[in-house]
Structure 1
Amino acid sequence: MQRRTFITSLSAVALSGTLWQNAARASSTLAGESPYGPLGAPDANGVALPAGFSSRVVARTGHLVGGILWHPAPDGGACFADGTGWIYVSNSEVPLIGGVSAIRFRADGSIDRAYRILSETNLNCAGGRTPWNTWLSCEEIFRGRVYETDPYGVRGAQQRPAMGRFKHEAAACDPDNRVVYLTEDEDDGCFYRFVPDVWGDLSSGRLEVFCVDDVWRPVPDPTPAVLERQTRHQVSTARHFSGGEGCHYADGVCYFTAKGDRRVWAYDATRRTVSAIYDGTGTLNGVDNITGTRGGDLYVAEDGGNMEINIITPDRVVAPIMRLDGQGESEITGPAFSPDGTRLYFSSQRGTSGERAGTGGITYEISGPFRR
């Protein structure tokens, strides 16, 4: 089923910065078209795309790519510039052997090599890139950790316990306010920020939680050892979100998704307020990983739903830009643009097999005239 849906609610506060700065407040559905046009028939890779776009498979779980076997259950990812080429990193959301793999691409898009940058960790789900070109890989387990990893494979990974021990999902760096935002995948999860003692060094700092009165308050014990002291329950006024997922910061706004209520939230870092820019009443389902472009477009991947990545434009149009057919038991993960904005990488975590172990994972690349 092809679809074009539109945001049904932009409530409370107009967003700041270049991104969404002209968004008007509205309570009704706005008609519009995808900037790329409708999706066509699925191609040879089972990917439905607008005219002018093409897809290729760059890696499959258990198959050799760039000299290594690609990991199971590929999840969160990001791209990093590397000379005339670039690197795509991808988490592995499986227990005990999770970790992160990286693929280096040459300037022409061909694969140069692949390698591991983190191993023997648990359920590495999402994460986030830093302004100093490291990848924060987050464990989605009870008392999960954040690992700071080197996409270039030179330095060893480092645990960052000061960023909290909880069921981590994603991270987004805010260089303007020198904080890192963090989401938590629990039914009553919280929205956090980590304030490092020194920007660029995540080894020490203060973990804070966003509260119902729009105030950030310190979490007394960021690394609790017992169930009764979990971070999300330590501050009585903490605001809770149902199933925190992806996280993306741009131009004074941190966007994050919550799969439990199908909302895309926006935290205005200037006004320190949170409002929903997509309220879940449209047909964008299973909101999960999120990324964005310099031009202000957001891209939201679906966990389930129609297995689509949807664009949300600054004028509030929501529409699919790709769809995977025959993979209804999977989820789309790790959307990230190449440094020049012409290629979009993502994975189908379980592929056509739908196996929870992620043995059928597939990592894709889409090329085309993306808005930048």
Structure 2
Amino acid sequence: MERRSLLRAAVVGAGAAAFSGSLWRQAAAYPALPGTSPYGSLRSADVNGIMLPAGFTSRVIARSTQTVPGTNHTWHKAPDGGECFADGTGWIYVSNAEVGSGGGGVSAVKFNSNAQITDAYTILSGSNRNCAGGSTPWNTWLSCEEVSTGYVYETDPWGVNAAVRRPAMGRFNHEAAASDPVRKVIYLTEDASDGCFYRFVPTTWGDLSSGTLQVLKESSGVLSWANVPDPDGSPTATRDQVSGAKLFKGGEGCWYRNDICYFTTKGDNRVWAYNASANTIAVVYDDNVSGAPLTGVDNITASAAVGDLYVAEDGGNMEICIITPDDIVAPFLRITGQSSSEITGPAFNPAGNRLYFSSQRGTSGSSSGGITYEVTGPFRTSL
């Protein structure tokens, strides 16, 4: 039996007993293995240096330190996590700025129904290393600071309401957030080599000004949630306050769908699935098992129509890879000539036919060289 098969059997065996019914069928196929992409192979790089499947095209939306076309707004350096919000017949794409020393924040670019840019503006400034984040069901963007005592900021994609710092959500090396409207909690990842997986339970759903920060624990294979005594994280870091807290090797992006919060860990190149209904966890992708078609796992998003996961690479081959519901992993696109950068902020517009993302440092390898793209094409609407 090949090493890959042995490893796959071990991982599946460890998690399969926790699932039943349709969830069993899903878990039994984990981890995903390399296969043929539903979109076919990548073609030669286009004028923007992006290799795409047949039928797909790319365009540049914005460049760091330059004015966004059709507006008077200068696009931020080091674009990172992003998300799209419906805006009438158009939409808004928000993008974090992973810049330190108070130079971080969030910008937004607005599109009409024809995907033409109509406006761009700042919705948060003066923060530090805004890395990833997540949307809420009440249409705000949670922007997370990736510093040891970082905050979560709740921002308004329309730029009408001022951004608000949410200290009750804890102070730690925040990475991403994902809202679970069923259990009325928000999951949070921590970018540390011994980081934790958290959830914030608001006192009132829809109001993040107060609530309880909890951390995932594991004892004899059984998961549970424990309150973090001091969410302020000082003098003791939040990840060190609860005995038995389950540790993860560098939490990155996360995405919630249908009772499952998918999240990535860059230290071991894994994609995880926390099943909130069953209170179990499984490994969706592991590069030691899967043959490493996806490395440097980072930001993650999903196609609402069919459930495909799209995982961006920090390094690797500068690819966004797709993980399908039938557990095939394959490259969806590759950016060429930008090996000193990373791909960030993947997000679909509300119709699911346009994918936005950034190359954080572009061709220059500098934070001032960031490029934000849009890809359009025949994205799947059914399996």
TM exceeding 0.5? yes
Aligned to 1:231: 238
Q: Do residues 151 (structure 1) and 157 (structure 2) align?
A: yes
> Given residue 320 of structure 2, which amino acid in structure 1 is its aligned partner?
I
Residues 269 and 38 from structure 1, CA distance in 2 versus in 1: closer, same or farther, beyond 3 angstroms? same
CA distance in 1, matches of 2:134, 2:157: 12
Q: Do residues 290 (structure 1) and 293 (structure 2) align?
A: no
Residue in structure 1 matching 2:111, options 80, 91, 105: 105
Instruction: Please state how far the C-alpha of 1:22 moved relative to its aligned partner.
Output: 4.2
SS at match of 2:369: coil
SS at match of 2:126: coil
CA distance in 2, matches of 1:208, 1:179: 10
Deviations 1:155-203 (A, max 9, x none): 0000100000000000000001100000000010000000001111111
Instruction: Please state how far the C-alpha of 1:150 moved relative to its aligned partner.
Output: 0.1
CA distance in 1, matches of 2:91, 2:377: 17
> Given residue 211 of structure 2, which amino acid in structure 1 is its aligned partner?
G
Aligned to 1:4: none
SS at match of 2:345: strand
CA distance in 2, matches of 1:241, 1:312: 21
> Given residue 152 of structure 1, which amino acid in structure 2 is its aligned partner?
W
Q: Let me know the Cα RMSD of the aligned residues.
A: 1.9
Aligned to 1:3: none
Residues 195 and 17 from structure 1, CA distance in 2 versus in 1: closer, same or farther, beyond 3 angstroms? farther
Residue in structure 2 matching 1:337, options 339, 344, 348: 348
Contact 1:8 1:278 in 2 (8 A): no
Q: Percent identity?
A: 61
Deviations 1:304-352 (A, max 9, x none): 0000000000110000110000111100000000000000000000001
Contact 1:128 1:135 in 2 (8 A): yes
> Given residue 278 of structure 2, which amino acid in structure 1 is its aligned partner?
R
Instruction: Please state how far the C-alpha of 1:45 moved relative to its aligned partner.
Output: 0.2
Residue in structure 2 matching 1:257, options 255, 259, 264: 264
SS at match of 1:107: coil
Aligned to 2:224: 215
Q: 329-338 vs 29-38, which deviates more? A: 29-38
Residue in structure 2 matching 1:43, options 46, 50, 67: 46
CA distance in 1, matches of 2:83, 2:266: 21
CA distance in 1, matches of 2:79, 2:109: 13
Residue in structure 2 matching 1:138, options 137, 144, 148: 144
Contact 2:151 2:170 in 1 (8 A): yes
> Given residue 133 of structure 1, which amino acid in structure 2 is its aligned partner?
N
Q: Do residues 79 (structure 1) and 81 (structure 2) align?
A: no
Contact 2:32 2:327 in 1 (8 A): no
Contact 1:14 1:24 in 2 (8 A): no
TM-score by length of 1: 0.94
Aligned to 2:370: 361
Residue in structure 1 matching 2:183, options 177, 180, 184: 177
Residues 154 and 14 from structure 1, CA distance in 2 versus in 1: closer, same or farther, beyond 3 angstroms? farther
> Given residue 257 of structure 1, which amino acid in structure 2 is its aligned partner?
T
Residues 21 and 370 from structure 1, CA distance in 2 versus in 1: closer, same or farther, beyond 3 angstroms? farther
Residues 8 and 90 from structure 1, CA distance in 2 versus in 1: closer, same or farther, beyond 3 angstroms? farther
Instruction: Please state how far the C-alpha of 1:32 moved relative to its aligned partner.
Output: 3.2
Q: Do residues 316 (structure 1) and 316 (structure 2) align?
A: no
Instruction: Please state how far the C-alpha of 1:30 moved relative to its aligned partner.
Output: 5.0
SS at match of 2:104: coil
Residues 52 and 146 from structure 1, CA distance in 2 versus in 1: closer, same or farther, beyond 3 angstroms? same
Residue in structure 1 matching 2:127, options 106, 121, 125: 121
Q: Do residues 33 (structure 1) and 36 (structure 2) align?
A: yes
Contact 2:199 2:215 in 1 (8 A): yes
CA distance in 1, matches of 2:20, 2:182: 11
SS at match of 1:69: coil
Residues 28 and 272 from structure 1, CA distance in 2 versus in 1: closer, same or farther, beyond 3 angstroms? closer
Q: Do residues 198 (structure 1) and 198 (structure 2) align?
A: no
Q: Do residues 352 (structure 1) and 363 (structure 2) align?
A: yes
Residues 88 and 211 from structure 1, CA distance in 2 versus in 1: closer, same or farther, beyond 3 angstroms? same
Deviations 1:41-72 (A, max 9, x none): 00000000000000000000011012211000
SS at match of 1:23: helix
Residues 8 and 103 from structure 1, CA distance in 2 versus in 1: closer, same or farther, beyond 3 angstroms? farther
Q: 22-31 vs 135-144, which deviates more? A: 22-31
Runs of 4+ in structure 1 deviating by more than 6 angstroms, as ranges, are: 14-21
Instruction: Please state how far the C-alpha of 1:239 moved relative to its aligned partner.
Output: 0.5
CA distance in 2, matches of 1:29, 1:267: 16
Aligned to 2:3: none
CA distance in 1, matches of 2:109, 2:314: 24
> Given residue 104 of structure 1, which amino acid in structure 2 is its aligned partner?
K
Contact 2:30 2:285 in 1 (8 A): no
Residues 208 and 31 from structure 1, CA distance in 2 versus in 1: closer, same or farther, beyond 3 angstroms? closer
Residues 256 and 100 from structure 1, CA distance in 2 versus in 1: closer, same or farther, beyond 3 angstroms? same
CA distance in 2, matches of 1:348, 1:61: 10
The unaligned stretches of length 5 or more in structure 2 are 1-6
Contact 2:43 2:51 in 1 (8 A): yes
SS at match of 2:177: strand
Residue in structure 2 matching 1:57, options 55, 60, 63: 60
Q: 302-311 vs 275-284, which deviates more? A: 275-284
